Structure 1
Amino acid sequence: MARLSDEELIAELKKRFDATKQALYDVKMVTSKLEEVNKKLQASEQIKSNFISHMKNEINNPLTSILGLSEQLRSGLIPPEMTQSIATSIHSEAFSLDFQLRNIFAAAEMESGETQLQISLTDVLTLIRDSIDSFNHLIADKNLTVTLPEKKEDDDQLLFKTDTEKLSLIFSNLISNAVEFNHENGAIEINATILNGRLNVTIRDTGPGIDPEKIHTIFDRFVQLESGVRKSHKGHGLGLSIVQALVEMMEGNITVDSVAKGKGTIFSVSIPEVQTNMEADAFSVDGNEFFFDDEEVKAF
């Protein structure tokens, strides 16, 4: 075996030292990444834990109210003049519970990969008006002014081929957000147009707006800008994440603009129309008549 010269020995030692140094660096980087992933997992588990705890209250509170109020009605001891007020309270609590459960079920379906598009010819203006009507009791509580898309003289419909049920849930969550995060005597303005095969909808409120540094977090699941027992707004941090997921499933996009604190917020949704060979008269005003499932849409 040939003896190495001093220069060759030094070069070999340097080579092995560099290799060891690189290996130590790689181990350090992997360790750092694992620690970062672990922190994110811990944060995620904490968020989910907080969500479950909060969701329990969000469901139990309306149920408890409904049971208590309905028991008062059932007892027959309520003065007639109070019946309407109690019935209104029961409706409000039941509506809140139903809306929250719809979001939970939608999130669960998307999480499991069971959600598919069901395409029908949708009357967008009617869908928006119906969504607003369902929130009328909350709108009245805050004395909000709502401006809806104007009807054209020759046609009061805005027809668009999409998944009606999912579009309705998108509208409901954005309207709910505009109502919840608005001032007393504030306003909500909704516009909708179809241009170049895309449905473009904007929902503007006159609420406090969103801190620009926190805008990127509002679509995160289970995240609310307010937290804790003293938060001033209802909700569970699920609605906007569902909106974003549904919009992306429909190959659209959603943006939020809140340029100045106290100047309100604008949510803008843009969704492409599904290209199908649907006949012009294959139409259901309430969107309950479906024509294509997700697999059939892909074939076009």
Structure 2
Amino acid sequence: MAFIDYYKILEVTKNATENDIKKAYRKLARKYHPDLNPNDKEAEQKFKEVNEANEVLSHLENRKKYDEYGEHWQQTDAYKKAKQQQKQYAQQQTSQGDFGGYTESDFSDFFGSMFGGGNAKGQNRQTKFRGQDFNAQLQLNLKDVYTTHKQTLTVNNKSIRITIPAGVENGQIIKIKGYGGKGVNGGPNGDLYIEFSIINKSRFKRDGDNLYASVDLDLYKALLGDEITVNTFTGKVKLTVKPETQNGTKLKLKGKGFPKYKKEGQFGDLYITYNLKTPTKLSNKEKELFTELSKLR
């Protein structure tokens, strides 16, 4: 396996900070994104390489392993575990006066085989190890997660089509089994963990399954009562305003909130808060009428 210089791909130095890597990734991801480079195979390959480099270097622990072990960074956990087992086994056999038929060179052959070296005798005793888990972040708009939909991701040069359930929350992590690093010596693949970053550009505030919004209400409708039309996440609804409605009055629209995660057909509620708007630029006649009203009170 040829060595891949992830720092070179992201056009940063080995001393780059976490923020430097994040900025470099965003810049290059935009530059080579398939939507901006349709039918450009070279840009598509660059986009995949940039994503792969970011998956490694943006993860502190993975970056540390990569800096130390290079192309073999995904096998470091398995290597350390096996080396510890070898040490314990060697100590046990030494205390018994023998190595049970194994020599120090046998163990060296075993560890060498993990990294592509070693002789045939060591390779005959290769142990299977699970592949490294991968971590990725998927950025979506709030409206994208209002309904269940499918999306294709490119992770480690692989296209993965996943179903995103309605109602996923910002920061939520889901596991895609078997889409991590390749197993060693025929071992199982690692898993892919996807963290959702939900951007809310709507006028609604989300809290779990519930939505919150403020609606301006003019003084006359608040005093006398009326019907108004308000926006929900999926459309408009009519509301009846009771006479003498006070500023800050809250009401609940049942089932007009956000979908409940993996609960088909179930929704949270929408909470509306009225903000009374005091009229401005009153005419002389209006001032007179308000003056009369004040005297009546």
Structure ranking higher in strand proportion: 2
Structure scoring higher RCO (CA < 8 A, sep ≥ 6) equals 1
Structure ranking higher in helix proportion: 1
Larger Cα-atom Rg: 2
TM-score, scaled to structure 2: 0.21
